[in-house]
A and B are shown apart, each in its own frame.
Chain A
Amino acid sequence: MRKALGLLVAVLLLVGLAATGVLAESKVLNVWIMEPGNREAITKYFNDVNGDFEKSHPGVKVEIQYIPWLSGQQKFITSIAGGVAPDVAEMGSTWNGQFADMGALEPMDKYVDQWGYRDDFSPGLVESATLDGKLYGAPWYAGARGLIYRKDWFKEAGLEAPRTWDEFLQAAKVLTKDTDKDGKIDRYGFALQGNGRHTWLPLIWQNGGEIAVRKDGKWVSAIDQPAAVEALKWFTELLTRYKVTPEASVTWGALEARQAFALGKAAMFIEGSWGLEPILKSNPDLAGKIGVAMMPRGKKDGSSFAGGSNLVIFRQSKNKELAAEYVKMLLQPKNLIDFAREVKFFPGRVSTYDTYKNDPVLKVFADQMKVARSYPATPAWGAVEKSVVTNMIQEMLSGKISVEEGAKKYAARMNEIFNY
């Protein structure tokens, strides 16, 4: 009996020691990454960098979770409400202001100043992460959309890549064709995206307009101003007047437009460099036939939207110092360039841009980045994107409302959201 008891105590002691040892040393760092297009390569990337991180931080386990872009915002909100926000997350640049304003994010100035390269961060992304002078995210990567077109068809028709809105429309008209003569258009000049706000909003900038301006400390919509209305009208008429894009494109997003391009049903569409690989994957015959160009210029310029992501640390995190270490590790030039290459974006540190000067494709998109801008950095931007922009575009495209009236109606809606 005594012997058995002694054994039991010993076993319990061992188990207890092991348990406390494990508890004391093992820490899980939860990291949320937005669902990438090429999941395998990204998974491999994180296996490598996390392996290094875990080696240099014994007892730490990094858990990556992939979050779909479509439901990402909602997922962040519910996790914050439930007190289970991740430690580190990739945050879409247009959401950063909103979550910072909510008080969900940890200010990063302290860490960034320690790292000592604040000025190296891409200015567009810094702007998207800044609220009342504090930085709530570390710029990770960004990319700008440009024009992707069928080089072979352009050559056949004796056309050059369009540089202005007029040239763009001309090319779109010429390339919209009924190739098999059955009385139905089967090749369109352009694949429009009625559900692709980032292809629409920069048009306003290109024409010299603004989406919203800050007046007396308040945001005021400017989409009903003449320059903006003219830009929206021009793009809407690609479908309603010139019919150089399929009827179904009212509901298309980037995926559908890309698919149309890959299937040889459209000659041009707007997307970033990240779209090229999926196109070739679904239709390898297009190798060598795809051209890239900067956005056609309106009255002012050929600007685009600098879309990207920052790395944020959540205030609910219990491992903030460790989280900052992890962010720092991801922002090292080598890790940064490797990741940017995989997602076909550009790193959040400007000093890395030289990498692309000899690449004929990426150079175009890098140049596009130089004339890329950010949306108004207001916490209400998420709501504006969700309930103003796409609805307005689709109502205009489907003829439910004229462009002029639509702009007026949705400018009012936008102001209502800014003032809520």
Chain B
Amino acid sequence: MPYPKVGFRRIDWFPYGLLAPALVVVTGLMLYPLLNTVWLSFYKYSLLDILSQEKTWIWFGNYLAIFKDPFFWQVLGNTALFTAACVIVTMLAGFAVAMLLNVKFPGRAVLGVAVLLPWVIPRVAASIVWKWIFNDQYGILNYFLVLLGFDQFKEFSWLTTQMRAFTSILIVVVWQSFPFVAFSLLAGFQSISSEIYEAAEVDGASWWQKLTGITLPLLKNLLLILFILETVWDFKIFDQVYVMTEGGPAQSTYIMGIYAWMEAFGNMMMGKASAIAVIMFAILALVTWLYIRVLSREEEVA
């Protein structure tokens, strides 16, 4: 008998007992809010009625209104493009830093700690600091750029047009997320046996050939997982945009997270905001499913 028999009849309750705390937490903290959001998305429910709890069941009314609104498609487009840009730049930056840290040189440990810092700083705090850095009047970014001789950056406003604002936010997002990618990849690099590279060197493989022939194929699963995680994280970004532009100027940096927040707490339309959140959830679920399918098919072939 591997463990004591606790239950009655023939059901062994012990494993369930062990699982219970985790199940309670998962249900309470994840499943309940999720289902509640889905449920709310079928109601016309104003935040003004939060105490009376008056709401009207309108079936798919919120979804229809959202899909009919050209602004939703604009926001969705913005979000998709911005997410793609963030993911690509983050992965490239993370990869480059991982390669750098994989080389032995004096001060590597110090650099490793320094690289980790942006990831440790709370997002809101970091965004506020970056907002100062980007400030057109007294930001240090413009100050240094002018010192370096780029006079066109004197009082350059980083947040006034859509392109500039998105670029600034992208810098902050990438700055905060590349350390995770870098360290995950570094671990991956070090899991590849050096003998494989030595063998390739004997055969006269170039640096590029080693990268595309050995490193990338062997790290494919890790890369895919990082892509999924980064996509999910960047798609639902809120803090950085909220702090830096609040979706402005003139709603030009609206992304899905800000859109849902504004409908909920700006326009008080909780039902509509829940519907937006459900749409976000559906899109991310689909993306994740696609990634995982690709991943598992690759494994079957291999």
Q: Which of A81, A265, A420 contacts B50 (CB 8 A)?
A: A81
Q: Which of B81-89, B156-164, B201-209 faces chain A?
A: B156-164
Contact (Cβ within 8 A) A251 B245 = yes
| A386 contacts the other chain (CB 8 A) | yes
Interface string of A243-272 (1 = CB under 8 A from B): 000111011000010011001010000000
A391 contacts the other chain (CB 8 A): yes
Q: Are B160 and A102 in contact (CB under 8 A)?
A: no
Q: How far is the CA of A184 from the CA of B49 in the complex (A)?
A: 53
Confirm or deny: B266 has a beta carbon within 8 angstroms of a beta carbon on chain A.
Answer: yes
Alpha-carbon separation in the docked complex, A251 to B265 (Å) = 21
Q: Give the complex CA separation of A194 and B269 in angstroms.
A: 26
> What is the bound-complex CA distance between A400 and B136, given in angstroms?
22
Contact A251 B160 (CB under 8 A): yes
Quick one: CB contact mask for B242-259 with A, threshold 8 Å, 1 for yes?
000100111110000000
| Closest residue on chain B to residue A406 by CB atoms | B250
Cβ of A81: which chain B residues have Cβ within 8 Å of it? Answer: 50
Q: Tell me which of A102, A246, A247, A259 contacts B51 (CB under 8 A).
A: A102
The answer to whether A77 and B47 touch (CB under 8 A), given A194-B249, A256-B137, A398-B249, is yes
Distance from A378 Cβ to chain B, minimum over Cβ atoms (Å): 11
Residue of B whose beta carbon sits closest to that of A282: B138
Most buried by B among A74, A104, A195, A383: A383
Q: Do residues A398 and B161 form an inter-chain contact, with CB atoms below 8 A? A: yes
Interface membership of A16, Cβ < 8 A: no
Q: Do A101 and B48 have beta carbons less than 8 Å apart?
A: yes
Q: Does A415 lie at the interface of the complex (its beta carbon under 8 Å from any beta carbon of B)?
A: no
Contacts of B51 in A (CB 8 A): 80, 102-104
Contacts A263-B137, A386-B267, A417-B267 given; does A251 touch B248 at CB 8 Å: yes
A122 to chain B, nearest CB (A): 26
User: Closest CB of chain B to A234's CB: distance in Å?
Assistant: 19
CA distance A184 to B50 in the complex (A): 53
How far does the alpha carbon of A102 sit from the alpha carbon of B136 in the complex, in Å?
41
Q: Give A residues with C-beta under 8 Å from B.
A: 73-74, 77, 80-81, 98, 101-104, 184, 194-195, 246-248, 250-251, 256, 259-260, 263, 265, 379, 382-383, 386-387, 390-391, 394-395, 397-398, 400, 417, 420
13 contacts between A and B (CB under 8 A): A77-B50, A102-B51, A103-B51, A103-B52, A195-B248, A248-B137, A248-B155, A259-B138, A260-B137, A263-B137, A263-B138, A398-B160, A420-B267
10 A-B pairs besides A102-B49, A395-B251 with CB distance below 8 A are A77-B265, A102-B48, A102-B51, A246-B157, A248-B137, A248-B159, A251-B157, A383-B267, A397-B249, A397-B250
- By a beta-carbon cutoff of 8 Å, the part of chain B in contact with chain A is 46-52, 136-138, 154-155, 157, 159-161, 245, 248-252, 262, 265-269
10 residue pairs, one from A and one from B, having the closest CB atoms: A248-B157, A394-B250, A386-B266, A395-B250, A394-B249, A248-B136, A103-B51, A383-B267, A74-B265, A387-B266
